[in-house]
Amino acid sequence: MNPGRMLSQVLHSLFKKPATNMYPYEKLEMPGKIRGKLVFDPQKCIGCKLCMRDCPAGAITINETAPKQFEAVIHLGRCIYCGQCVDSCLKKALELTKDVELAQTDVTQLKVVFGGKPEDKPKETA
């Protein structure tokens, strides 16, 4: 390689902004159609269980908690974030968010239960 050309590239690199981000100190801007954590709206669910049948990873379980009230148990460790469950849900009770920071050291923290009562918020379960 030509030493003059190499020196030119070195000098150019000295004054160039770095290509890396200072993650996690600076949060990354996620693209619009990224597939992140699943959320479930129990008010919209009719209990057809199409999402459960269409999930290739078997990451979703729909349980009836009361008449016409359902809860979703989502195993985020099994989920492959393909979006098939969201596409097959007739009432749009499932939605993919932009939350992609899901790494855990404890696998039990990746099981999320969305309750069937309106005042219920998602809770982490073991």
Whether 35 and 50 have beta carbons less than 8 Å apart is answered as no
Q: Which option is the CATH number for 31-124: 3.40.50.150, 3.30.1330.60, 3.30.70.3270, 2.60.40.10?
A: 3.30.70.3270
User: 13 Cβ partners below 8 Å, 6+ apart?
Assistant: none
* C-alpha–C-alpha distance, residues 122 and 37, integer Å: 12
- List, for residues 56-102, the tens digit of each pLDDT value: 999 999 999 999 899 999 999 999 999 999 999 999 999 999 888 88
Using CA atoms, how far apart are residues 6 and 12, in angstroms rounded to an integer? Answer: 10
Single pTM value for the model: 0.69
Give the position of tokens 């920071």. Answer: 101
